[in-house]
Amino acid sequence: QRPLASPAHQRLTELLSEAKQATQDYLDQHVERLSSDGLGAQAHVSDMEPGEGIIAMADEVDADLVVLATHGRGGVTRWAFGSVAQYVLHHSERPLLLVRSAHPTKTAIEHILVPLDGSDRAERILNDVIPLAAQLDARVTLVTVAREPEAFPDPSLLEAQRKHLSEMRDYL
Protein backbone atom coordinates (compact mmCIF):
# COMPACT_ATOMS: atom_id res chain seq x y z
CA GLN A 1 0.00 0.00 0.00
CA ARG A 2 1.32 3.43 -1.04
CA PRO A 3 1.76 6.03 1.73
CA LEU A 4 -0.33 9.18 1.46
CA ALA A 5 1.44 12.32 0.34
CA SER A 6 2.14 14.87 3.02
CA PRO A 7 0.13 18.11 3.05
CA ALA A 8 3.31 19.98 2.05
CA HIS A 9 3.81 17.68 -0.93
CA GLN A 10 0.15 18.08 -1.96
CA ARG A 11 0.44 21.89 -1.72
CA LEU A 12 3.63 21.88 -3.79
CA THR A 13 1.91 19.77 -6.45
CA GLU A 14 -1.01 22.24 -6.50
CA LEU A 15 1.35 25.22 -6.84
CA LEU A 16 3.24 23.58 -9.70
CA SER A 17 -0.02 22.80 -11.48
CA GLU A 18 -1.20 26.41 -11.03
CA ALA A 19 2.13 27.74 -12.34
CA LYS A 20 1.94 25.49 -15.40
CA GLN A 21 -1.62 26.65 -16.10
CA ALA A 22 -0.62 30.32 -15.69
CA THR A 23 2.24 29.73 -18.14
CA GLN A 24 -0.13 28.11 -20.65
CA ASP A 25 -2.57 31.03 -20.27
CA TYR A 26 0.30 33.49 -20.87
CA LEU A 27 1.32 31.69 -24.06
CA ASP A 28 -2.29 31.39 -25.22
CA GLN A 29 -2.65 35.19 -25.00
CA HIS A 30 0.28 35.56 -27.37
CA VAL A 31 -1.12 32.89 -29.70
CA GLU A 32 -4.33 34.95 -29.90
CA ARG A 33 -2.31 38.09 -30.70
CA LEU A 34 -0.37 36.33 -33.46
CA SER A 35 -3.53 34.72 -34.82
CA SER A 36 -5.29 38.09 -34.98
CA ASP A 37 -2.36 39.29 -37.12
CA GLY A 38 -3.05 36.41 -39.52
CA LEU A 39 -0.19 34.18 -38.40
CA GLY A 40 -0.46 30.49 -37.62
CA ALA A 41 0.66 29.97 -34.03
CA GLN A 42 0.60 27.32 -31.33
CA ALA A 43 1.82 27.11 -27.74
CA HIS A 44 3.54 24.39 -25.74
CA VAL A 45 4.74 24.29 -22.14
CA SER A 46 7.76 22.11 -21.41
CA ASP A 47 9.01 20.97 -18.02
CA MET A 48 12.57 20.39 -19.25
CA GLU A 49 15.61 22.56 -18.65
CA PRO A 50 15.13 25.69 -20.83
CA GLY A 51 17.85 25.06 -23.42
CA GLU A 52 17.02 21.37 -23.71
CA GLY A 53 13.29 22.12 -23.94
CA ILE A 54 13.77 24.68 -26.70
CA ILE A 55 15.87 22.27 -28.75
CA ALA A 56 13.43 19.40 -28.16
CA MET A 57 10.46 21.53 -29.21
CA ALA A 58 12.30 22.81 -32.29
CA ASP A 59 12.93 19.21 -33.27
CA GLU A 60 9.37 18.13 -32.48
CA VAL A 61 7.75 20.84 -34.62
CA ASP A 62 10.59 20.72 -37.20
CA ALA A 63 11.24 24.46 -36.85
CA ASP A 64 13.15 26.10 -39.70
CA LEU A 65 14.41 28.89 -37.44
CA VAL A 66 14.69 29.34 -33.66
CA VAL A 67 14.40 32.96 -32.48
CA LEU A 68 15.61 33.82 -28.98
CA ALA A 69 15.67 37.05 -27.04
CA THR A 70 18.92 37.44 -25.17
CA HIS A 71 19.13 39.22 -21.86
CA GLY A 72 22.72 40.37 -22.32
CA ARG A 73 23.89 39.03 -18.99
CA GLY A 74 27.59 38.77 -18.41
CA GLY A 75 30.12 38.06 -15.72
CA VAL A 76 28.92 36.52 -12.49
CA THR A 77 25.23 36.65 -13.47
CA ARG A 78 25.87 34.62 -16.60
CA TRP A 79 28.06 32.21 -14.65
CA ALA A 80 25.42 31.77 -11.93
CA PHE A 81 22.37 31.46 -14.18
CA GLY A 82 23.94 30.25 -17.40
CA SER A 83 22.86 31.35 -20.82
CA VAL A 84 19.97 29.61 -22.54
CA ALA A 85 20.93 31.28 -25.83
CA GLN A 86 24.50 30.04 -25.54
CA TYR A 87 23.28 26.51 -24.75
CA VAL A 88 20.94 26.46 -27.76
CA LEU A 89 23.64 27.95 -29.99
CA HIS A 90 26.09 25.19 -29.08
CA HIS A 91 23.70 22.24 -28.96
CA SER A 92 21.13 22.81 -31.71
CA GLU A 93 21.74 22.19 -35.37
CA ARG A 94 18.92 24.52 -36.44
CA PRO A 95 19.42 28.11 -37.63
CA LEU A 96 19.24 30.51 -34.70
CA LEU A 97 18.35 34.21 -34.63
CA LEU A 98 19.40 36.02 -31.44
CA VAL A 99 17.82 39.39 -30.64
CA ARG A 100 18.86 41.57 -27.73
CA SER A 101 15.72 42.05 -25.69
CA ALA A 102 17.03 45.18 -23.96
CA HIS A 103 17.09 47.18 -27.19
CA PRO A 104 14.04 48.23 -29.17
CA THR A 105 13.75 46.49 -32.52
CA LYS A 106 12.55 47.83 -35.83
CA THR A 107 9.32 46.45 -37.20
CA ALA A 108 10.95 45.56 -40.51
CA ILE A 109 14.31 44.03 -41.33
CA GLU A 110 15.68 46.04 -44.24
CA HIS A 111 19.41 45.36 -44.08
CA ILE A 112 21.27 42.16 -43.11
CA LEU A 113 24.97 42.11 -42.25
CA VAL A 114 26.75 38.82 -42.99
CA PRO A 115 30.33 38.39 -41.76
CA LEU A 116 32.38 35.98 -43.90
CA ASP A 117 35.92 34.78 -43.26
CA GLY A 118 36.65 33.07 -46.57
CA SER A 119 35.87 29.56 -45.30
CA ASP A 120 33.35 27.22 -46.90
CA ARG A 121 31.77 26.80 -43.49
CA ALA A 122 31.09 30.54 -43.13
CA GLU A 123 29.82 30.79 -46.71
CA ARG A 124 27.12 28.17 -46.04
CA ILE A 125 25.17 30.86 -44.19
CA LEU A 126 24.44 32.42 -47.57
CA ASN A 127 22.13 29.47 -48.30
CA ASP A 128 19.92 30.79 -45.48
CA VAL A 129 20.53 34.50 -46.01
CA ILE A 130 19.56 34.59 -49.69
CA PRO A 131 15.96 33.33 -49.29
CA LEU A 132 15.55 35.29 -46.05
CA ALA A 133 16.69 38.54 -47.68
CA ALA A 134 14.50 37.87 -50.71
CA GLN A 135 11.46 37.22 -48.51
CA LEU A 136 12.09 40.38 -46.50
CA ASP A 137 13.17 42.43 -49.53
CA ALA A 138 16.28 43.32 -47.53
CA ARG A 139 19.72 44.48 -48.64
CA VAL A 140 22.68 42.31 -47.74
CA THR A 141 26.11 43.59 -46.79
CA LEU A 142 28.97 41.10 -46.69
CA VAL A 143 31.97 41.92 -44.53
CA THR A 144 35.31 40.38 -43.73
CA VAL A 145 37.18 41.75 -40.77
CA ALA A 146 40.91 41.24 -40.96
CA ARG A 147 43.02 43.81 -39.19
CA GLU A 148 46.33 44.58 -40.82
CA PRO A 149 49.01 44.36 -38.17
CA GLU A 150 51.19 47.41 -37.64
CA ALA A 151 54.38 45.44 -37.63
CA PHE A 152 55.60 41.90 -38.13
CA PRO A 153 59.09 40.75 -37.30
CA ASP A 154 59.14 38.82 -40.62
CA PRO A 155 58.25 40.93 -43.72
CA SER A 156 57.00 37.81 -45.55
CA LEU A 157 54.22 37.44 -42.96
CA LEU A 158 53.10 41.02 -43.60
CA GLU A 159 53.06 40.34 -47.35
CA ALA A 160 51.04 37.15 -46.81
CA GLN A 161 48.51 39.11 -44.72
CA ARG A 162 48.22 41.81 -47.41
CA LYS A 163 47.72 39.13 -50.08
CA HIS A 164 44.98 37.52 -47.99
CA LEU A 165 43.24 40.88 -47.52
CA SER A 166 43.45 41.53 -51.26
CA GLU A 167 41.97 38.10 -52.03
CA MET A 168 39.16 38.73 -49.58
CA ARG A 169 38.38 42.12 -51.14
CA ASP A 170 38.28 40.50 -54.57
CA TYR A 171 36.08 37.72 -53.24
CA LEU A 172 33.56 40.11 -51.73
Q: pLDDT for 106-127, tens place per residue?
A: 678 899 999 888 888 888 999 9
- Segment 1-45, tens digit of pLDDT: 566 678 888 889 899 999 999 999 999 999 999 999 898 999 999
User: How far apart are the C-alpha atoms of 26 and 18, rounded to whole Å?
Assistant: 12
What is residue 55's predicted lDDT score, i.e. its pLDDT? 96
Report the DSSP beta bridge partners of residue 112. 140
What is residue 76's predicted lDDT score, i.e. its pLDDT? 61
Q: Which of 69-78, 84-93, 104-113 holds the top average pLDDT? A: 84-93
- 132 or 164: whose pLDDT is higher? 132
3-state percent helix, strand, coil for the chain, nearest multiple of 5:
50, 10, 35
Q: What is the DSSP letter of 148?
A: P
pTM over the 0.75 mark: no
Q: Using CA of residue 62, residue 117, residue 71, residue 15, what is the dihedral sign?
A: positive
**Is residue 78 over pLDDT 60?**
no
What is residue 150's predicted lDDT score, i.e. its pLDDT? 62
Share above pLDDT 90 across residues of the chain, in percent, rounded to a whole number: 41
Q: Are 66 and 97 in contact (CB under 8 A)?
A: yes
